[in-house]
Amino acid sequence: MSFVWIALNALRVLSIFSLVLVISTCIIVNVKGFTSLGQSNIIFQFLNRCVIGIEALILILVEIGWPRIFGWFPVLQSWTFFGFLQAITGSFILGYDSGINSYSFLGYSLFIFIIIPGWFVFIIGIIYILLGVFGGQRLKQQRQIGGRSEKSRPPPYTV
């Protein structure tokens, strides 16, 4: 095992963990803010968090390599786009409306529980963008678990 393989799979584990935290924060904030759902823009915040939770679930499926997900979303095979989606998800979490995401409404511990996964997903997204731009498919092949390694692949077709 090489250092690159360990680092890339550690990034995968951190990404899955942070996305699970995103789903849990979406659920917690929706449950906490459900009582004020009749107010003007709370319904859109509720729907926004539902979409963020579904997006995080799709990104988890991509991270674990669920093969059928690529048939539905082939663009997710690119680490650059995957990182872009994670960075956007983190910025959506960090940009929750101040009415529902305020220290006075949520309390200190719940407020921190929402902010930390937002930054975590945002930073991991930036790392994936950089890896996609500078490493691309070469790094993706080095990260594979149980698959053929880069050394056992046949040479590329040349004319």
- Residue-wise pLDDT for 15-63, tens only, equals 999 999 999 988 988 887 777 666 766 788 788 889 999 999 989 988 8
Token pair, residue 99, equals: 């009415």
| Residue from 128, 129, 154 nearest 8 by CA | 128
How many Cβ atoms are within 10 Å of 132's Cβ, its own excluded?
19
Q: What is the mean pLDDT of the chain?
A: 79
The string of DSSP letters for the chain reads: --HHHHHHHHHHHHHHHHHHHHHHHHHHHHHHHGGGTTSTTHHHHHHHHHHHHHHHHHHHHHHHT-TTHHHH-GGGGSHHHHHHHHHHHHHHHHT--TTTS-HHHH-HHHHHHHHHHHHHHHHHHHHHHHHHHHTHHHHHHHT-SSS--STTSPPPP--
d(CA 87, CA 20): 15
pLDDT of residue 54: 94
Region 136-158: mean pLDDT is 60
d(CA 51, CA 159): 48
CB 22 within 8 A of CB 56: yes
pTM equals 0.78
Is pLDDT of 138 > 70? yes
Region 87-107: mean pLDDT is 72
Highest mean pLDDT among 45-54, 70-79, 92-101: 45-54
pLDDT of residue 139: 78
pLDDT of residue 147: 53
pLDDT of residue 1: 65
Is pLDDT of 125 > 50? yes
CB 103 within 8 A of CB 85: no
Based on its alpha-carbon atoms, the radius of gyration of the chain, rounded to whole angstroms, reads: 18
